[in-house]
Amino acid sequence: MQRLDAAGLCALRRTARFRWLVQLVEYVAAVGAIANVIHISLQLGWRSVSSFDCESSYYPLAWVLIPVGIHLVGALSFYLRPKTTDDEDDGAAALIIPLTRRRGRQPRQEQRVVTITASAPTPLSLIAYSFAVGFSVGHILFGMLVFSSLMFLMVSDVVPVIMRYAASAIVCRFINQYELALMGEEYRVQEAGSVSAGTAEAAAAKTEDSSNSRG
Report the pLDDT value the prediction gives residue 12, as an integer from 0 to 100. Answer: 55
Digit-coded pLDDT (tens) for 76-129: 998 888 877 775 444 434 433 333 344 344 444 455 677 777 778 889 989 999
Label each residue of 63-121 as H, E or C.
HHHHHHHHHHHHHHHHHHCCEEEECCCCCCCCEEEECCCCCCCCCCCEEEEEEEEECCC
* Span 34-93, pLDDT tens digits: 999 999 999 988 888 888 888 888 899 999 999 999 999 999 998 888 877 775 444 434
Average pLDDT over residues 152-168: 87
Query: What pLDDT is stored for residue 116 in this prediction?
Result: 76
Question: Which residue would you say has higher pLDDT here, 2 or 145?
Answer: 145
Tell me how far apart the alpha carbons of residues 167 and 165 are, in angstroms, rounded to a whole number.
Answer: 5
- If phi over 0 gives left and psi between -120 and 50 gives alpha, with beta otherwise, what is residue 198? alpha
Query: pLDDT category, 15, cuts 50, 70, 90?
Result: low
Mean pLDDT (the chain, rounded) = 76
More confident residue, 138 or 199: 138
Does position 156 have pLDDT exceeding 60, yes or no? yes
3-class DSSP assignment, residue 158 = helix
- Long-range contacts of 89-95, Cβ-Cβ distance < 8 Å, separation of 24 or more: 95/188
pLDDT value at residue 33: 95
**Three-state DSSP state, 56:** coil
Measured CA to CA, the distance from residue 200 to residue 168 in angstroms comes to 47
Q: How many CB atoms lie within 10 A of CB 63?
A: 20
